[in-house]
Amino acid sequence: MGAATAVACNSGSAAIHAALGALGLQPGDEVITTPITDMGAVLPIPYEGAVPVFADVDPQTGNVTPTTVAARLTPRTAAVIVTHLFGQPAETRAIARLCAERGIPLIEDAAQAFLATEQDRLVSSIGALGCFSFQQGKHLTTGEGGMVVSADRALADGVARFVNKGWGYGDAAPDHDRPGLNYRLTELQAAVGLAQLDKLDGCVARRRRAAARALDGLGDLPGITLPHPRPGTEHSYWRFALLVDPEVVPGGPDALGALLRDLGVGNAPRYVKKPAFDCAVFRDPARFGALAGAFAAPSSARFGDRTTHPGCYRFLDRVLVLPWNEQLTDAQVDGIVAAVRRAHAALCGAHR
Ligand SMILES: *Cc1c(COP(=O)(O)O)cnc(C)c1O
């Protein structure tokens, strides 16, 4: 992954938790993150006593941007987490510069972005720490599992201790020196993972090839925006996400998704359906129990709505996620393309 160190752990959530654990956050610290990601990337923040602060996202990509992150910086910001949604790289170098100017560590959540690149650098190796999930739906899987990579050996050591109950294996006088948990990957899972590593290049290459074929087949549909990685970046296509403009395609992603389902193409309109801050656990901090102290901090930034996070709602109102994988044959991609075209024509009127 282009990093000096990699520490295995037993999930992507554990990877994010261990990365935050290695930073030594203090009560009241704020961690800027995205409202559109896996919950496992958000909930470790209050476990470390910090307040999640949700930056808005680019309505085209669903990723946080240098502008939306900058808008959320405060003197209490202690870390930033960037998710590369669906495998499309965020503007990581620019966000890393923003963080570096203030001495704030950047964590990259690359769980959906194995081998995605920005200017020839693998994502996950641009920030201070990069996190992966090996959950069964990811590019590389051990059933469940995860990994944290870093070029910084001191941070990697912190991660290794955090996933090993704070125990310093190899220390002259080892002791439990921090409140780490048992987040270890098993030897069996590691053996599976090592075998998967050899397949990763081919896995990502085949996903890209299938995506290129779909992009060719769908480029001309009014009201449909296809993934378009910024120049200098390579998408790794964990998913193939369309944006469906409800003003052009009546019924938007829900209607298109329903027709596609009838045509045998599984899909997920609106991805996570709602922003993280709209989920029950955040709407009612009492649900955090003993962790609720994290929210006593003088910050209301964990909340959001259509005015504070317009990009986030615009994206969720339009996105239609197509499952993607390295086994897709040309014929299957052509079938998906034909189904999208048929569903689109049915909604927009056959005269088109
Ligand atoms: C899958 C995923 C996670 C969580 O990984 P688990 O292994 O399920 O805990 C975190 N972040 C992102 C972006 C993910 O896609």
Residue 87: pLDDT band with limits 50, 70, 90? very high
Q: Is 38 in the pocket of ligand 1 (CB under 6 A)?
A: yes
Position 300 scores a pLDDT of 54
What pLDDT sits at residue 292? 81
Cα atoms in the Cβ-side hemisphere of radius 13 Å centred on 135: 15
The SS3 of residue 66 is: helix
The predicted pLDDT at position 352 comes to: 46
Per-residue pLDDT tens digits for 186-220: 999 999 999 999 999 999 999 999 999 999 999 99
Chain mean position to CA 294 = 23
User: CA 252: distance to chain centroid?
Assistant: 24
Taking the CB of residue 57, how many other CB atoms lie within 10 A of it?
Answer: 28
Our answer on whether the CB atom of 92 is closer than 6 Å to any ligand 1 atom is no
DSSP code for 125: S
Give the per-residue pLDDT at 298: 58
Buried b (16+ CB within 10 A) or exposed e, 83-113: bbbbbbbbbbbebbebbeeeebbbbbbbbbb
How remote is the CA of residue 212 from the centroid of ligand 1, in Å?
A: 25
187: tokens are 């030897």
Closest CA to 51 of 12, 17, 70, 25: 25
Q: Is the CB of 13 under 6 A from ligand 1?
A: yes
What number is the average pLDDT over the span 271-278? 94
Ligand 1 atom showing the smallest separation from residue 146 Cα: 7
Please tell me the distance between residue 85's alpha carbon and the centre of ligand 1 in angstroms: 11
The domain 5-191 is placed in CATH, from the list 1.25.60.10, 3.20.20.140, 3.60.9.10, 3.40.640.10, at: 3.40.640.10
Structure confidence at residue 285 as a pLDDT band (50, 70, 90): confident
Average per-residue pLDDT for the chain: 95
Pocket lining: 111 vs ligand 1, CB cutoff 6 Å: yes
pLDDT band at 284 (very low <50, low <70, confident <90, very high): confident
Report yes or no: 328 and 210 within 8 Å, Cβ to Cβ.
yes
DSSP 30: E
- Ligand 1 pocket check for 58: Cβ under 6 Å: no
pLDDT at 351 over 90: no
Whether the model pTM is above 0.85: yes
Compute the radius of gyration of the chain from its Cα atoms: 21
User: Hey, where are the domains in the chain?
Assistant: 5-191, 200-271+311-351
Over range 143-161, report the average pLDDT: 98
pLDDT at residue 228 above 60? Answer: yes
Question: What integer pLDDT is reported at residue 186 of this predicted model?
Answer: 97
Give the sign of the dihedral formed by CA 209, CA 214, CA 219, CA 222. Answer: negative
pLDDT in tens, 94-113: 999 999 999 999 999 999 99
Cα 38 to middle of ligand 1, angstroms:
5
Ligand 1 contacts CB of residue 83 (under 6 A): yes
* Same fold for the pair 5-191 and 200-271+311-351: no
29 lines ligand 1 (CB under 6 A): no
pLDDT tens column, 56-67 = 999 999 999 999
Which stretch of DSSP H or E encloses residue 271?
none
Residue 150, helix vs strand vs coil: strand
What mean pLDDT comes out for the span 157-163?
Answer: 98
Q: How far is the CA of 174 from the centre of ligand 1 (A)?
A: 32
Distance CA(103)–CA(98), nearest Å, equals: 9
**Across 19-36, average pLDDT:** 96
Atom of ligand 1 lying closest to residue 112 CA = 15
Dist. CA 81–CA 97, nearest whole Å? 14
Over residues 229-244, mean pLDDT:
97
Q: 239: CA distance to ligand 1 center in Å?
A: 14
Q: How far is the CA of 12 from the centre of ligand 1 (A)?
A: 5
Superfamily designation of domain 200-271+311-351: Aspartate Aminotransferase, domain 1 (3.90.1150.10)
The residues, any chain, with a CB within 8 Å of residue 290's CB and separated by 6 or more, are none
Residue 39 has pLDDT above 80, yes or no: yes
**What would the mean pLDDT of 11-32 be, rounded to a whole number?**
96
What is the SS3 assignment for 165-177? Answer: CCECCCCCCCCEC
